[in-house]
Amino acid sequence: MDLRRTRIAEIISSEEIGARFTVMGWVRTRRDSKGGLSFIEVNDGSCLSGLQVIAEEKLPNYLDEIVKIQTGASIMATGILVASPGKGQKVELRADEIKVLGWADPAEYPLQKKRHSFEFLRTIAHLRPRTNTFGAVARVRNTMSRAIHAFFQERGFLYIHTPIITGSDCEGAGEMFKVTAFDLDQIPKKDGQIDFAEDFFAGPARLTVSGQLEAEIYALAMGDVYTFGPTFRAEDSNTSRHLAEFWMVEPEMAFCDLDGDVALAVDFLKYIFSYVLENCKEDLLLFNRFIDSSVIKTLEDLISQEFKFITYTEGIETLSRATEKFEFPVSWGSDLQSEHERYLCEKVFKRPIVMVDYPKEIKPFYMKVNQDGKTVRAMDVLVPKIGEIIGGSQREDDYDTLLGRIKETGLNPDDYWWYLELRKFGSAPHAGFGLGFDRLIQFVTGMPNIRDVIPFPRTPGNMSF
Amino acid sequence: MDLRRTRIAEIISSEEIGARFTVMGWVRTRRDSKGGLSFIEVNDGSCLSGLQVIAEEKLPNYLDEIVKIQTGASIMATGILVASPGKGQKVELRADEIKVLGWADPAEYPLQKKRHSFEFLRTIAHLRPRTNTFGAVARVRNTMSRAIHAFFQERGFLYIHTPIITGSDCEGAGEMFKVTAFDLDQIPKKDGQIDFAEDFFAGPARLTVSGQLEAEIYALAMGDVYTFGPTFRAEDSNTSRHLAEFWMVEPEMAFCDLDGDVALAVDFLKYIFSYVLENCKEDLLLFNRFIDSSVIKTLEDLISQEFKFITYTEGIETLSRATEKFEFPVSWGSDLQSEHERYLCEKVFKRPIVMVDYPKEIKPFYMKVNQDGKTVRAMDVLVPKIGEIIGGSQREDDYDTLLGRIKETGLNPDDYWWYLELRKFGSAPHAGFGLGFDRLIQFVTGMPNIRDVIPFPRTPGNMSF
């Protein structure tokens, strides 16, 4: 069988009336007119729009097959592209041949032409990418991934693959999953303790929570680098914003301070949002229409607005003066909640905010301590609707200060011997940030639940598919 | 401190004699001439070449600092680019200011100007990217990653993030690591069995060995997709070709048969090899000179040669007639070893080979069974020096045949309910392949040990850094 085909996205944008095309895809609907004509809407995933295929009753398999084609079947159709007299499409395909590649029994196929709840669609994650919404999510996710690589590669950053399995518990950023090759029923013990020397890696292994510390190694040799890969948290957070497995983007730059870090973060956001608006407009219009009518405006605002720069201390002062009732109290030294971040963005400054110089007590050990001894060179980028979208910092590059911070926070310096050595041999100012990719996709699409922006979500109690 | 700098790659390629630049990087060597002049070679990771910085004794910190700068220190140097009278470089920087950003005590810094063994460098993986070889590996790895994304994105494939944590043991492709949030010292039991209902995912969880089955889901909705991410094997293979954690590329195409799959694989290899030759020539020349003097010729041959197409049966016949002594015997029905694959490529056909139609017994259940009932639509791409570089197949798209194969191979159909359903609802011919990214980098660079082509290798007994 000849499987050469043209993608629907290409056919539609070609507008080559009179040209002959073969299309292959999945049937969304079929309706028959009284005049012995069937209209079959085919979608192949290349774009949101389907292609209307016209089947006339003179086709040899019209009665045997074509009028039995149902939602979900896969077909091949060959014919001439003609201008469409109907509403909703400019072109349609007048078929002279239609083959059914795979049937879908309407009594069994769970995706019928009606709206299904996202909760239900999660139970059929093997079929949900065939719906308009999840097809659009897949295209937006792909485009945002491409935008991320394009942004960094154009600027000479190297893509680094940091490890997933790790022996260190890193920055203490959260609960970690354990990895083992032990038979869990027969874990070897020695003197009453688990004998990790017998395990695959000869020690307790975990799934990484961040590639940052390893990215710093490469930044302090190659200059500018970034990671883009899966990270993990074993936290029992059953919310619409948490995944146990999620993708992170983490650039890290040598010879860069907090100002350079902030500048990169702002450029980065403006770049990727412009990119998705330019390359996924049809899909974003779908989200704007059916999911959240402010997504496009929010992205456009972020691209055009100047970001407001304030210190954490200024932020706290502003919040203390607010008449707004907050669920969580505000005081210097406590972490901001997203209600506070959103209030500052949406109500006070009416634009995105870069907040810097957080109290060292609420930030990890590796952030560079300011001259005041109380705050660190941290920065968070806050945006409307979600609050923090990026968190970063200049890193502590002074050996003694870093060693002090490690001890102060109760960590074991021996576990960080190589991280410390980076400050002993050719240390340099360096900085970086992290961005949770799945929350970014939530922000861009307006999808309310993070489980619906990743193909196969992993959450407490769920690792289906 | 002003941290604006120009990367050395850019300075060298600009050849802007007379222009003023600031360079920041790590010192490789410093030597002093009798005439009160120091030559400092600085590398910033942006390219293999360093930049020679000339420091004259009239600089205010010449005696206090500059003559104390040693290998490994990080410095900032500002000056005018001049034509170099010396050998080995076209341009050099005549500095009017040099600042030391971070010292490196030569009594402690382990990377002195001499050749270190790769074994030793593995023990200081936090410093090895500062060597010529490992810097070059990092740039080649980045460029190959970019090539992979460019190839698929140009062809309209969507990048899909398949899950790392999985509840299925997939294709039985190998031993899997277990993932748990249990305290390994107190695993809850119920009726004498591990009570997995109490674990994070409410069942036994593992690290994926392949994203293929999930990629098929997306192919059968979006058309053409690919994955590029980490995969795992808990196999106790302490060889120069095995990693417990490695990166895989897995394209998957709907409306594609074995011929289409083979065509894509050949195009793909030619594209990425051309890409790296074009974008990493300086680094490849290093590998060609110091690691394996055939790497560039091998890549050029692969790009220009036509691949030879043979069936497995023809391959076995050819091998049976060979006068060569093989370590492993050859007979129809047994797996080919790399000695056989290399013999066919290097001695018999003298070019890359695409071998198809393998016995079904030695291939996984999901490969499409041929009409003969004995072989499957599998394909391996074999290349000189390593043998198999790509393995793929057309997938079984017939529900009943697939169900039979699942049972035949002793798997439980219930574990594959969604995979089976893809053949029930709008099934379509589809195909894909997998390529081990780290072995690809080994092939391109000639590096003898796979531990030296990934930043932080995970192998039996080792998960350092």
A99/chain B closest Cα distance in angstroms: 11
Question: Tokens 């983490």 identify what position?
Answer: A250
Given an 8 Å threshold on Cβ–Cβ distance, is B73 in contact with A426? Answer: yes
In tens digits, chain B (465 residues) has pLDDT values of 899 999 999 999 998 999 999 999 999 999 999 888 999 999 999 999 999 999 999 999 999 999 999 999 999 999 999 999 888 889 999 999 999 999 999 999 999 877 899 999 999 999 999 999 999 999 999 999 999 999 999 999 999 999 999 997 655 667 999 999 999 999 999 999 999 999 999 999 999 999 999 999 999 999 999 999 999 999 999 999 999 999 999 999 999 999 999 999 999 999 999 999 999 999 999 999 999 999 999 999 999 999 999 999 999 999 999 999 999 999 999 999 999 999 999 999 999 999 999 999 999 999 999 999 999 999 999 999 999 999 999 999 999 999 999 999 999 999 999 999 999 999 999 999 999 999 999 999 999 999 999 999 999 999 999
Facing A255 at nearest CB: one of B3, B167, B222 = B3
Alpha helices for A293-436 (secondary structure H): 295-304, 312-321, 338-342, 399-408, 417-421
For residue B207, list its beta bridge partners: B165
Confidence of residue A87 (pLDDT cuts 50, 70, 90): confident
Contacts of B25 in chain A (CB under 8 A): 223
Contacts of B129 in chain A (CB under 8 A): 217-218, 221-222
The answer to whether A226 and A149 are in contact (CB under 8 A) is no
CA-based nearest residue in chain A for residue B217:
A126
B216/chain A closest Cα distance in angstroms: 9
Phi, psi of B94, deg, nearest 5: -90, 105
Contacts of A418 in chain B (CB under 8 A): 124-126, 465
CA-based nearest residue in chain A for residue B253:
A3
CA-based nearest residue in chain A for residue B105:
A425
The answer to whether A104 and A118 are in contact (CB under 8 A) is no
The answer to whether A215 and A227 are in contact (CB under 8 A) is yes
Given an 8 Å threshold on Cβ–Cβ distance, is A103 in contact with B181? Answer: no
B339/chain A closest Cα distance in angstroms: 29
Given an 8 Å threshold on Cβ–Cβ distance, is A421 in contact with B200? Answer: no
Q: How far is CA A156 from CA A29, A386, B153, B389, in A?
A: 47, 31, 20, 29
The answer to whether A240 and A256 are in contact (CB under 8 A) is no
B49 alpha carbon, distance to own chain's centre: 23
Q: Which helix (H) or strand (E) segment is B378 a member of?
A: strand B375-383
Given an 8 Å threshold on Cβ–Cβ distance, is B163 in contact with A424? Answer: no
Given an 8 Å threshold on Cβ–Cβ distance, is B161 in contact with A141? Answer: yes
B17: burial class by Cβ within 10 Å (0-12, 13-18, 19+)? exposed
- Which structure tokens are listed for A312? 């954490």
Residue A172 has pLDDT above 70, yes or no: no
What tens digit of pLDDT does each residue of A139-160 get?
A: 999 999 999 999 999 999 999 9
- Give the count of Cβ contacts less than 8 A between chain A and B: 330
Given an 8 Å threshold on Cβ–Cβ distance, is A425 in contact with B462? Answer: no
State the distance between the two ends of chain A, measured CA to CA, in whole angstroms.
31
Facing A187 at nearest CB: one of B162, B184, B207 = B184
- Kindly indicate whether the ipTM for this predicted assembly is greater than 0.85, answering yes or no: yes
**Over residues A171-189, mean pLDDT:** 89
To the nearest whole percent, how much of chain A has pLDDT over 70? 99
Angle between helical axes of B437-445 and B258-279 (0-180°, round to 10)? 50
* Single pTM value for the model: 0.97
Phi, psi of B198, deg, nearest 5: -85, -10
Given an 8 Å threshold on Cβ–Cβ distance, is A222 in contact with B146? Answer: no
A1/chain B closest Cα distance in angstroms: 9
Going by the DSSP 8-state scheme, the letter that residue B198 receives in this structure is: G
Residue from A6, A28, A126 whose CB has the most chain B CBs within 10 Å, to mutate? A126
Q: Which helix (H) or strand (E) segment is A389 a member of?
A: strand A387-394
Contacts of B234 (CB under 8 A, 6+ apart): A181, A200, B174, B175, B176, B177, B207, B244
Facing B145 at nearest CB: one of A159, A179, A220 = A159
To the nearest whole percent, how much of chain A has pLDDT over 90? 94
Q: How far is CA B224 from CA A142, B16, B163, B378, in A?
A: 12, 46, 18, 19
The answer to whether B421 and B216 are in contact (CB under 8 A) is no
The answer to whether B181 and B199 are in contact (CB under 8 A) is yes
CA-based nearest residue in chain B for residue A225:
B142
pLDDT at residue number A407: 95
Given an 8 Å threshold on Cβ–Cβ distance, is B74 in contact with A428? Answer: yes
> A93: closest CA among A135, A35, A44, A129?
A44
Given an 8 Å threshold on Cβ–Cβ distance, is B182 in contact with A181? Answer: no
Contacts of B73 (CB under 8 A, 6+ apart): A426, B26, B27, B100, B101, B102, B103, B104
State the distance between the two ends of chain B, measured CA to CA, in whole angstroms.
31
Separation of alpha carbons A170 and A409, rounded Å: 13
Q: Which helix (H) or strand (E) segment is A143 a member of?
A: helix A132-154
Contacts of B162 in chain A (CB under 8 A): 455-456
Separation of alpha carbons B162 and B227, rounded Å: 7
Separation of alpha carbons A304 and A322, rounded Å: 27
Contacts of B130 in chain A (CB under 8 A): 221, 426
3-class SS of residue B428:
coil
Given an 8 Å threshold on Cβ–Cβ distance, is B156 in contact with A7? Answer: yes
Given an 8 Å threshold on Cβ–Cβ distance, is B424 in contact with A141? Answer: no
Facing A222 at nearest CB: one of B45, B167, B223 = B45
Facing A234 at nearest CB: one of B73, B200, B397 = B200
Facing A200 at nearest CB: one of B7, B187, B234 = B234
Alpha helices for A155-253 (secondary structure H): 212-222
A286: burial class by Cβ within 10 Å (0-12, 13-18, 19+)? buried
Contacts of B184 in chain A (CB under 8 A): 178, 180, 182, 184, 187, 194, 204
Facing B184 at nearest CB: one of A180, A254, A460 = A180
> A344: closest CA among A334, A359, A354?
A354
CA-based nearest residue in chain A for residue B140:
A158
Given an 8 Å threshold on Cβ–Cβ distance, is A46 in contact with B156? Answer: yes
Residue A247 has pLDDT above 90, yes or no: yes
B346/chain A closest Cα distance in angstroms: 33
The answer to whether B76 and B24 are in contact (CB under 8 A) is yes
Separation of alpha carbons A215 and B144, rounded Å: 19
Separation of alpha carbons A271 and A248, rounded Å: 17
Contacts of B456 in chain A (CB under 8 A): 162-163, 214
A111/chain B closest Cα distance in angstroms: 10
Given an 8 Å threshold on Cβ–Cβ distance, is B159 in contact with A167? Answer: no
A337: burial class by Cβ within 10 Å (0-12, 13-18, 19+)? middle
Q: How many other CB atoms are found less than 10 A from the CB of residue A255?
A: 25
3-class SS of residue B33:
strand
What tens digit of pLDDT does each residue of A305-346 get?
A: 999 999 999 999 999 999 999 999 999 999 999 999 999 999
Contacts of A130 (CB under 8 A, 6+ apart): A26, A43, A45, A72, A111, B221, B426
Facing A177 at nearest CB: one of B179, B397, B425 = B179
Separation of alpha carbons B455 and A101, rounded Å: 45
Contacts of A24 in chain B (CB under 8 A): 254-255, 428
pLDDT at residue number A170: 57
Residue A169 has pLDDT above 70, yes or no: no
The answer to whether A111 and A265 are in contact (CB under 8 A) is no
Given an 8 Å threshold on Cβ–Cβ distance, is B421 in contact with A205? Answer: no
B155 alpha carbon, distance to own chain's centre: 21
Given an 8 Å threshold on Cβ–Cβ distance, is A223 in contact with B44? Answer: yes
A5/chain B closest Cα distance in angstroms: 8
Separation of alpha carbons B287 and A252, rounded Å: 27
